[in-house]
Amino acid sequence: MHSASQHPDALTRSVEDYLKAIYHLSDRGRFATTSEIAQRLGLSAPSVTGMVKRLSEQGLLTHEPYRGARLTAEGRRIALRMLRRHRLIESYLVGFLGYRWDHVHDEAERLEHAVSDDLVERMAAALGHPAVDPHGDPIPSADGTIEKAHYTPLTQFSAGEAAEIRQVTTSDAERLRYLETLGLLPGTRVMVEKVAPFGGPITVRAGRRHRVLGSELADLLLCARPQGAR
């Protein structure tokens, strides 16, 4: 019986989607539960249970009863390969084909399973080997490593602090469109002016514009403190 590493192109789209979903859910060393995987993929719990068992038998993940699933080294390698494809395709669509950042996720979901590794690497070269995609998400390297910066949600900044938006942690098109209308994109610097207590709204200034964000939306904006800012 051949392993998945011997025939990476033989993996089905379903398997690739499972591995990518479990990678996201089990990030930071935690387990991905059956219910979480089912919810993320829009599937029933029994079908997820069956697939998790098969992926475990193939050596792509480990499963512990009542805890959940985590990827093996091989499963993680494949998941990062898919993540690299997805984020480079998003970057290419925005950089060269005129797509907006709120439209690229679904296109990349379809294309990531179809393009060849050679085409992906040509896209990377054309883009100048970017470190992040249009949403600020880190792009895994060709050798399967990923460098994650530790940013702080905007909700954790205090009034009077400066912040630079580095990453927007949503693929929801409506939220992305709304953030774009506010001018709150990766690379934007803001000054936090007011923070309402008890999870209330946050008021920021971007240039000369004042914006009020609910805490749920502000929590999606991962930021860094600009150098020299207090």
In DSSP notation, 101-147 reads TTTHHHHHHHHTTTS-HHHHHHHHHHHT--SB-TTSPBPPPTTS---
Tens place of pLDDT per residue across the chain (230 aa): 344 444 444 578 999 999 999 999 998 778 999 999 999 999 999 999 999 999 999 999 999 988 999 999 999 999 999 999 999 999 999 999 999 999 999 999 999 999 999 999 999 999 999 999 999 999 999 998 998 889 999 999 999 999 999 999 999 999 999 999 999 999 999 999 999 999 899 999 999 999 999 999 999 999 999 876 55
d(CA 147, CA 141): 9
Whether 152-224 and 9-71 are alike in CATH topology: the answer is no
Angle between helices 34-41 and 13-25 (to 10 degrees): 120
On whether the 9-71 domain is CATH 1.10.10.10, my answer is yes
CATH architecture for residues 84-147: Orthogonal Bundle (1.10)
Q: Which pTM value belongs to this model?
A: 0.87
Domain boundaries, the chain: 9-71, 84-147, 152-224
- The per-residue b/e assignment along 70-98, b for 16 or more CB within 10 angstroms, e otherwise, is bbbebbbbbbbbbbbbbbbbbbbbbeeee
In 10 A of CB 37, how many CB atoms?
24
152-224 belongs to which homologous superfamily?
Ferrous iron transport protein A (FeoA) (2.30.30.90)
